[in-house]
């Protein structure tokens, strides 16, 4: 089968298509013929060697984390799926495995039936950012119309799910996006939007119960200036050192710094599937053909798009 791999850390130049044997499955696994995989910032952070503490430095490495496709083979202990089912899913070890190939073997606990009313690209876009958005929601605790939330970097995949989940809970949300993101953020439920290319969010002087930074550019030190006395900063892009440091500092401050490290979970996916049934939209900005996998990553890494980018494997 064809598979995208890399043999050293670097730019998209290190990515190449190679021939590999089709994976064999264990008793608890299914073999999925991948139709689409989604592109996530984590893919290029790992590829550039920015996450070696978790990803390790062993090569070759595969890329891509979440996917949608068709069940081709079923392990002997698997129930609930049959050959031909349309499914979406995620690899077990996001740091060390990849789905950028014609076939992927995954535990049946990490695939779900694709809702009939969404496309393969939309389904492939659910697990990483959708799960992270539910995880963020859980960390926010109880939310109501009085809860003021700032979502910094709201127009990518994570923001798309988070804004809509928050809307379903009536939160009072301010989104920060570039000019292109203003209308989508409003459509997804933001009560107000700040265009970061024109205004500094700090100049607004407003304070929030929750600040979440999806841009990876704000950081706790800056966020503190716009946090209410008892509030939380959610950080899905922590530097490794911030994980223990935030834990200890939180014992002594009412402005908490909470790190998000989401992992694939049936509980979170069920919440998402329910939210999708209740109207969450999954906006796919662009689907690239397999042969243009490098362009797909270059495009996503440049930013400036709304929603998700995906790669289709024929």
Ligand X SMILES: NC(=O)c1ccc[n+]([C@@H]2O[C@H](COP(=O)([O-])OP(=O)(O)OC[C@H]3O[C@@H](n4cnc5c(N)ncnc54)[C@H](OP(=O)(O)O)[C@@H]3O)[C@@H](O)[C@H]2O)c1
Stretch that binds ligand X, among 60-68, 81-89, 212-220, 274-282 (CB under 6 A): 212-220
- Least distance (Å) between residue 288 CB and ligand X: 15
**Does residue 37 interact with ligand X by CB under 6 A?**
no
User: Per-residue x/- marks for ligand X, 76-115, CB under 6 A?
Assistant: ----------------------------------------
Q: How far apart are CA 95 and CA 73, in angstroms?
A: 25
Q: Cβ distance 37 to 127 under 8 Å?
A: no
Among residues 262, 268, 290, 293, which is the contact residue for ligand X, using CB under 6 A?
Answer: 262
Number of residues that bind ligand X (CB under 6 A): 30
Q: How far apart are CA 34 and CA 121, in angstroms?
A: 11
Residue 146 sits at the vertex; the CA angle it makes with 142 and 147, to the nearest 5 degrees, is 50
- Least distance (Å) between residue 260 CB and ligand X: 5
**Does residue 264 interact with ligand X by CB under 6 A?**
no
Q: How far apart are CA 3 and CA 18, in angstroms?
A: 5
- Least distance (Å) between residue 272 CB and ligand X: 13
Count the Cβ atoms, other than its own, within 10 Å of residue 59.
11
**Does residue 303 interact with ligand X by CB under 6 A?**
yes
**Residue 252 class from Cβ within 10 Å (0-12 exposed, 13-18 middle, 19+ buried)?**
exposed
**Does residue 196 interact with ligand X by CB under 6 A?**
yes
Q: Whose structure tokens read 């002997």?
A: 76
Q: Which residues bind ligand X (CB under 6 A)?
A: 40-42, 128-129, 132, 152-153, 155-159, 176-178, 180-181, 196, 214-217, 236-237, 260-262, 303-304
């Amino acid at each position: 089968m064809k598979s995208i791999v890399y043999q050293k850390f670097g730019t998209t130049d290190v990515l190449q298509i190679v021939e590999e044997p089709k994976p064999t499955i264990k008793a608890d696994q299914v073999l999925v013929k991948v139709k689409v995989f989604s592109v996530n910032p984590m893919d290029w952070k790992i590829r550039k060697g920015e996450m070696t503490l978790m990803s390790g430095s062993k090569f070759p490495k595969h890329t891509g984390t979440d996917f949608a496709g068709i069940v081709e083979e079923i392990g002997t202990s698997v129930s609930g799926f049959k050959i031909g089912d349309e499914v979406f899913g995620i690899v077990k070890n996001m740091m060390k495995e990849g789905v950028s190939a014609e076939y992927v073997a995954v535990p049946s606990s990490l695939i779900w039936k694709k809702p009939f009313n969404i496309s393969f690209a939309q389904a492939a876009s659910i697990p990483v950012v959708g799960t992270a958005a539910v995880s963020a929601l859980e960390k926010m605790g109880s939310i109501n119309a009085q809860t003021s939330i700032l979502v910094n970097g709201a127009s990518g995949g994570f923001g798309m799910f988070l804004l809509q989940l928050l809307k379903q809970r009536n939160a009072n949300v301010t989104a920060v996006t570039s000019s292109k993101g203003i209308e989508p953020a409003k459509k997804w439920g933001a009560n107000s939007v700040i265009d970061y290319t024109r205004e500094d969010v700090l100049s607004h002087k407003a304070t929030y119960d929750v600040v979440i930074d999806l841009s990876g550019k704000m950081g706790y030190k800056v966020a503190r200036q716009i946090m209410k006395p008892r509030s939380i900063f959610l950080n899905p892009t922590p530097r490794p050192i911030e994980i223990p440091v935030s834990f200890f500092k939180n014992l002594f401050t009412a402005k908490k710094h909470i790190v998000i490290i989401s992992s694939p979970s049936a509980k979170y996916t069920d919440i998402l599937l329910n939210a999708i049934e209740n109207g969450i939209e999954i906006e796919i900005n662009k689907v690239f053909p397999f042969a243009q996998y490098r362009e797909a990553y270059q495009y996503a890494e440049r930013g400036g798009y709304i929603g998700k980018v995906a790669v289709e494997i024929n």
